[in-house]
Amino acid sequence: MLTADRVGGALVLLKAVDVAVRGPVELPGGLWLAVLTLWVAAGLALLTSQGGFTGGRVAWGVVLVSGAGLAFDYPLELRRQHLVLLMGVALAALVAREVGERLLLWRVQLTALYGVAALAKVNESFLGGDVLDRAVVAAPLWSALLPPPPTLLLIATGIGLLVTEGALAVTPWVRRLRTPGTVLAAGLHGIALVVVSPEPLVALRLVVFGGTAVLLHAASAGLLPAAQPNPGPEPVERPSAPAPAG
């Protein structure tokens, strides 16, 4: 059964690839390897989750602790650091006492994520097309196949992106908009992956970031169970009644 825990575990393991390729930065090699091993173990536990909601909380707690170790090893940039997003998901999953609380916290996280992203774009450099122009020029797909986009197209795209992110900050709270919001988020992050990923590691990070965001939208919309159901008790096999004599 596909659940948010299991998809989250797969994303944790993808992030582990990024960390492993980068290697240690601040931590001693042995300690870095131990922290990364703990991170991978937590991802595997989520991916193969059989422990229900409680077991998932424990695994997310390990993600949070080992993620803090990985964050200590490498300077964080809150606007771009996909590890921060995963740690936020893990924190919400850990502190929530039941599924409803987990969904509430994940919706708050989505609103903060997209709301801050939209507000950060309200500036002359972005709305004037300069930021998108640099991103598109660096994208191998666009630069190889298409001419530089006109300024008016960049301006319109910037405004459209700002409006889209503003909408995605709201959709988790409106029941009828949650599924369309999930589709919109998948489209937005999918386009970003295709257009602005100049190298494999950047593409991997975009998959982790976009995949995590879409995961939260899907869980909020009920398209994906927010947790693995708690395993029920083993069925008790009752002895069959003896056959009547005669």
Q: Which tokens in the block code for residue 128?
A: 């004037």
Q: Is residue 234 part of a domain?
A: no
Is the pTM above the cut of 0.85?
Answer: yes
Q: Is residue 201 part of a domain?
A: yes
Q: Is residue 9 part of a domain?
A: yes
SS (H, E, C) 50-97: CCHHHHHHHHHHHHHHHHHHHHHHCCCCCCCCHHHHHHHHHHHHHHCC
Q: Is residue 233 part of a domain?
A: no
Q: Is residue 230 part of a domain?
A: no
Q: For the chain, give the percent of residues with pLDDT over 70.
A: 85
Q: Is residue 124 part of a domain?
A: yes
**Helix, strand, coil distribution of the chain in percent, nearest 5:** 75, 0, 25
Q: Is residue 229 part of a domain?
A: no
Q: Is residue 21 part of a domain?
A: yes
Residue type at 139?
A
Has residue 237 got a pLDDT over 60? no
* Mean pLDDT value across residues 97-126: 93
Q: How many domains does the chain have?
A: 1
| CA gap 224, 215 in Å, rounded | 8
CB burial readout 232-243, b (16+ within 10 A) else e: eeeeeeeeeeee
Using CA of residue 188, residue 173, residue 82, residue 161, what is the dihedral sign?
positive
Q: Which domain covers residue 144, as residue numbers?
A: 4-221
Average pLDDT, the chain: 86
pLDDT digits (tens, 9 = 90+) for 126-175: 888 888 877 776 666 665 666 777 888 888 988 999 999 999 999 999 99
